[in-house]
Structure 1
Amino acid sequence: MSARFWSSLLLPVVLLGVAIATFLVTEPLSLLGVSPPPIEQLTVERTVLDEEGIDLKVRATGSEPMHIAQVLVDGAYWRFTQEPAGALGRGTSAWIHLPYPWVEDELHEITFITNTGATFDHTIEVAEATPQASAAQFIGYGLLGLYVGVLPVALGILFRPALQQSGPRGFEFALALTLGLLVFLLVDTLEEGLELGDQAASIFQGHALVWLAALVAFVALMAVGRRHREPPRGLALASYLALGIGLHNLGEGLAIGGSFAAGSAALGTFLVIGFTLHNLTEGIGIAAPLTRERVRWVAWIGLIALAGLPAVLGTWIGAYAYAPHWSALLLGIGAGAILQVMIEVGDFLRRTSIASGGAMISVASISGFTAGIVIMYATAYFVQV
């Protein structure tokens, strides 16, 4: 690259930096008699309850560094320690430790007061002890993820012999059913991601984070999938299906791990059973593009791992390192992956229907698409609380 190229590229950036620095130093707003007060915002990202009291991870997202001066618990001022100590700059986080004798199954109201007098409220709906980390617990969370992600996907793939004997119309039905379940997964993943985006600190722009992550993931996967100008089929298409489903299962693992970490063991058990039933259909979807292919057992293991093991990772993240903005980002990526697979499955269904002398919009395809949505909606009944 020539010096002229680099100078034309860097000069506007340098001049912009100079203009911003000049604005900050000269404070031209003072000529208007305007002296805007600092904006303070505080978000609680994680709550841990143990025998020593209550620990809360907070993140500041204001315009200026802020100091937490006092903390009220259930209407009473309470002593606290902050780590790291000092002012919280924009986007920084800290742990607040309250040696408060919380009461199991009770509601507790916490209010943070800054040195400027601004207040921020946080509610612990039902106080439950947070499970302590241990090797046995780590293995237990992993087993939960295997039960939720790997087992149902593997069982769903066992429907493949039935799909192979169903004939051309049955094949179209299976592909359309896969398309229907993907539509449900896309809506479900976006809803979960946007919900977590609402919980994230405003600095992360939760909703935009989800949509932009979905867009980038979709474009990237489409570019990879069509890099040879041929749409993926067979094992390649099944692999993309497994990837999209795996990213969705990552979100389910986050929900389960987070519920157990919050002390909601009953809710976690309910979610495990519900997600296991819910995910059985996902294995059928992965097997559908392979009903006319010869696939080695190693490939089957790879597909099951790709679709199911992210649930294990999600369970660990939800239990030990949960953060709403990271979870929203991961679910946004999952939504983009699912959208890419939807397009590829729809295109595969179209080509298959034309090759068999039929139409993409047929009784078999409409029935399969409807069945996929209905089955996913019905099994979701067990995971909605």
Structure 2
Amino acid sequence: MSSGPTLENTSPKGGAWGFLIIPLVLLGVLLAYLLTTGGGLGSLSGPPVEHVTVQRVTLPDPGTIQLTVVNDGPEAITIPQLMVDDAFWNFTAKPSNTIPRFGSAVFTIPYHWVAEEAHLVALMSSTGTVFEHEIPVAVQTPRFSGDLLWRFALIGLYVGIVPIALGVLWYPWMRGLSRSAVNFILSLTVGLLVYLAIGTWLDATEFAAELPTFIQGLPVTILIALLVLFTLLLLGRREKKEGERPSNLSISYRIAMGIGLHNLGEGLAIGAAFAAGEAALGTFLVIGFTLHNITEGVGIAAPILKKNPGLKHFMLLVFIAGFPAVLGTWIGGFAFNPVLATLFLAIGVGAILQVVWEVGLLVSKDEQKAGKHPLNWTNFAGFATGVMVMYFTAFLVKF
């Protein structure tokens, strides 16, 4: 009787590695040839392609405008002239007004801007290409101080920690609910998390649009969100032995972390808006954020209704979910960076989607134990309620 085919060791042997290295060497030779000689394509080359992005504008004092400019074109670019409000103006550039590809420079313009009015700055390259950037409302950039640090912290406190803590205070009442009502609350949590995921995604894409072109903001945002989602799903599988699910307290912490990343982005946007003079915080806005974010506390408390984890865990959950709003307001107000904002928000999207998956499994498992189908009108009503509450309360906080 003949035996079946056997699998041979197909790992590369010594000589086979040469077939990996030779193409790489030849590729290097080709690239060197193209860089040094142009490969005979010189006659086809046209005028240089130039593009710059104004990364940040600061107004440190009433007589100065500072622009941080990034060269995201394919070649180095020189900015010999600059205009403010259609008039040529003197400036200094550090480290130089010639910016290499992927490089940046800070342009300082001694210009007496008018408070609360718009100004137009135009950068002119050595080839005559003009890049315009509008300052919609001229307001002096906040300087770091203890008083301003405390004021920004109050904003984060109002929009993050306070409403989440108020939502958690419903915990004792929710513990007395029936099994079906608890699943309604969990489904409501899924609804508000889905809304937060969409909102966080839109905020991330908005910040990504401000990034230099070479960073490829939108694809990077998608990839980071997917990588975080799959990483958390894989880690979740290893946390427990096969057949077991993560504890409900663990799910609450993940909800708090996802909400915290969303609130970090919210704080970044608010801090940047106040630093640029584009928003005015009033009592109405504080009330709006309280109403909008109070359901986040409900979502954090929902998975742990069957077992009280103790006051220490509740305080930590509120801190994890709410304090990032304070941190985001500080960063947005004093040192806004769209790269970090995009990164944090993309991570937040992936984290929130993973929590949606975990809470959905929690509801599904409980319904199956009771002999019911997870997709029923009670759970659907909870999901729809969560989405609608977040949507309609958002009317009060969009500015």
Same fold (TM over 0.5): yes
One-letter amino acid of the counterpart of residue 63, structure 2: E
* Alignment of 1:117 onto 2:128: yes
* Alignment of 1:128 onto 2:142: no
Alignment partner for residue 25 of structure 1, among 36, 48, 63? 36
* Unaligned runs of at least 5 residues, structure 1: none
Displacement of 1:17: 3.1
Partners in 2 of 1:200 and 1:244 — Cα distance? 24
Partners in 1 of 2:383 and 2:132 — Cα distance? 46
Alignment partner for residue 217 of structure 1, among 228, 234, 245? 228
Partner of 1:197: 208
Partners in 2 of 1:180 and 1:199 — Cα distance? 30
Displacement of 1:383: 1.7
Partners in 1 of 2:276 and 2:235 — Cα distance? 39
- Kindly report the root-mean-square deviation, in angstroms, between the aligned alpha carbons of the 2 structures: 2.2
* Alignment of 1:338 onto 2:352: yes
Change (3 A) 1:51 1:170: same
SS of match in other structure, 1:148: helix
Alignment partner for residue 55 of structure 2, among 34, 37, 45? 45
The alignment-based identity, stated in percent, is 43
Change (3 A) 1:55 1:168: same
One-letter amino acid of the counterpart of residue 236, structure 1: S
Cα deviation digits, residues 213-242 of structure 1 (max 9, x gap): 101111111111121344323101111111
- Paired residues in the alignment total 384
Change (3 A) 1:272 1:29: farther
Contact 1:62 1:90 in 2 (8 A): yes
Displacement of 1:18: 3.3
TM-score (norm 2): 0.90
Alignment of 1:171-250 (within 5 A): 171-227=182-238, 228=240, 229=242, 230-250=244-264
TM-score (norm 1): 0.93
Displacement of 1:14: 4.6
Alignment of 1:50-89 (within 5 A): 50-89=61-100
Deviates further, 81-90 or 213-222 = 81-90
Partner of 1:292: 306
Change (3 A) 1:165 1:95: same
Partner of 2:176: 165
Partner of 2:46: 36
Partners in 2 of 1:6 and 1:302 — Cα distance? 54
Cα deviation digits, residues 57-111 of structure 1 (max 9, x gap): 1111111111111111111001111122241111222211111111122111111
Change (3 A) 1:190 1:108: same
Partners in 2 of 1:201 and 1:77 — Cα distance? 26
SS of match in other structure, 2:68: strand
One-letter amino acid of the counterpart of residue 44, structure 2: V
One-letter amino acid of the counterpart of residue 371, structure 1: T
Change (3 A) 1:14 1:257: farther
Contact 1:259 1:267 in 2 (8 A): no
Displacement of 1:139: 2.8
Contact 2:97 2:105 in 1 (8 A): no
Cα deviation digits, residues 248-297 of structure 1 (max 9, x gap): 11100101110111123515876554333211110100100000012022
Larger radius of gyration: 2
